[in-house]
Amino acid sequence: MPRRVLITGAGAVTPLGSGARTLFERWCAGELGIAGGEAACAEFDPTDALGTKLARRTDRFAQFALAASDEAIAHAGWDGGEPPYESARVGCVIGTGIGGIGTIEAQQDILRDRGANRVSPLAVPLLMANAGSGVVAMRHGLRGQSYSVASACAAGAHAIGAAARMIQAGDADAVVAGGAEAPLTSLARAGFAAMGATSESGISRPFDARRDGFVMGEGAGVLVLEDAALAEDRGARVLGEVLGYGASSDAYHLTAPDPDAAGAVRAIRDALHDAGVEPHELDYVNAHGTSTPLNDRAETVALHHALGDSARDVPVSSAKSTIGHLLGAAGAVEAIATLYALRERLAPPTLGFEEREEGLDLDYVPQKARPITTANGRAIGMSNSFGFGGHNAVLVLAA
């Protein structure tokens, strides 16, 4: 028997505010985290959350990772923010799509305008993509394996999957895992706009016929994962379980999803197989649902192929309808939303979904949250994440 992986803590900083529960409740209430075509964490104050010293020694993406980790670790009941296990047995995996792009741009301006010897000695430790896992490990004394995962918009899900595997392989007793991103910068905006990925209307409406691209967002999501036997020994409050993980590659195109969705289908099937779950047992699917014309169509195809007749019966919704696309944080934040949906037996809505497009024929939970009914004794859900580069990562959770 492989070791089981339980979820004992969750933390999030999202455009709907700070807090994992806040994310879920506001989403289900139909609130929008998007304003002016972007989804910013407008109320997040890094100095407030982290103090002057840490705030100035971290890029915004790592600040989100730290705040979300603080919440997740407190939620898990880790006394004094330190792990309840030998620290060398506790890992940290924080994914990101880009890393500290705000720092890169600011330091590039300094280099150009004021010269090389004005570039900050903090430039590299702030901008490096692994900074999130580094600072979280440092803050909480996590001395097991720690690293970052960079797989664009699949990074958050890959991070949680890799963390679960680390525990199952016996390489760690617990792992703090998630994703963080702070891409609301001029270069990222221009780059995503140039490739036609972002929405010109500034409206995120996944699966709707009028969708015209994603709305960029920022934030972080972090879970505390623990080996089930050890978590039970210490009397941890259990929030849910990582039942399965599947990951694959399209090897098809730099940015476009394979229209046949063969890679996504394999990731979904592998995750379900890993979980020992049949398609008809799924109570909820948290879609990648970016609101781009290509993704939402390919993802619908993938769900049909992977789930068969069960695809039409399961509620499928996208958090990107309320918080936009958090890129490397998306998979982690959405895993948290999935966890709460399963715990609360409530499928959050795809906000803004009004007009159906031919072929996009799933139950996208339009506009209003809806109770989840389960015949499983516990609710089982799946969260999809797909990234530029053709990366697919799928998590199956239960609560």
Partner 1 sequence: MPVAVTPEAVEEKVVETLATFGPDRAEIKRDATFDQLDIDSLDIVELAQVIEEEFGVVLKGDDVKDIKTVGQAIDLVVSRA
Residues carrying an active site annotation: 153, 288, 325
Choose which of 11, 33, 99, 125 interacts with partner 1 (CB under 8 A). Answer: 125
Q: Does 312 bind partner 1 (CB under 8 A)?
A: no
Q: Does 249 bind partner 1 (CB under 8 A)?
A: no
Least spacing, CB of residue 152 vs partner 1, in Å: 30
C-alpha span between 102 and 108 (Å, rounded): 10
State which residue, 130 or 204, has the beta carbon closest to partner 1: 130
State which residue, 114 or 280, has the beta carbon closest to partner 1: 114
Q: Does 112 bind partner 1 (CB under 8 A)?
A: no
Least spacing, CB of residue 54 vs partner 1, in Å: 8
Q: Which residues contact 127 (CB under 8 A, 6 or more apart)?
A: 59, 99, 100, 101, 103, 104, 107
C-alpha span between 157 and 62 (Å, rounded): 17
Burial class (CB in 10 A: 0-12, 13-18, 19+), 151: buried
C-alpha span between 169 and 209 (Å, rounded): 44
Alpha helices in the chain (DSSP H): 20-28, 46-50, 52-56, 60-75, 101-114, 123-127, 131-140, 155-168, 186-194, 228-233, 262-275, 293-307, 320-323, 330-344
Q: Does 53 bind partner 1 (CB under 8 A)?
A: yes
Choose which of 106, 122, 138, 256 interacts with partner 1 (CB under 8 A). Answer: 122
- Reference 205, options 311, 12, 360; nearest CA is 360
Q: Does 359 bind partner 1 (CB under 8 A)?
A: no
Stretch that binds partner 1, among 117-125, 131-139, 253-261, 264-272 (CB under 8 A): 117-125
Choose which of 2, 48, 82, 118 interacts with partner 1 (CB under 8 A). Answer: 118
User: Parallel, antiparallel, or unpaired for β 240-249 and 284-286?
Assistant: unpaired
Stretch that binds partner 1, among 114-122, 214-222, 279-287, 381-389 (CB under 8 A): 114-122
Q: Which residues form the interface with partner 1 (CB under 8 A)?
A: 51-54, 56-57, 117-118, 120-122, 125
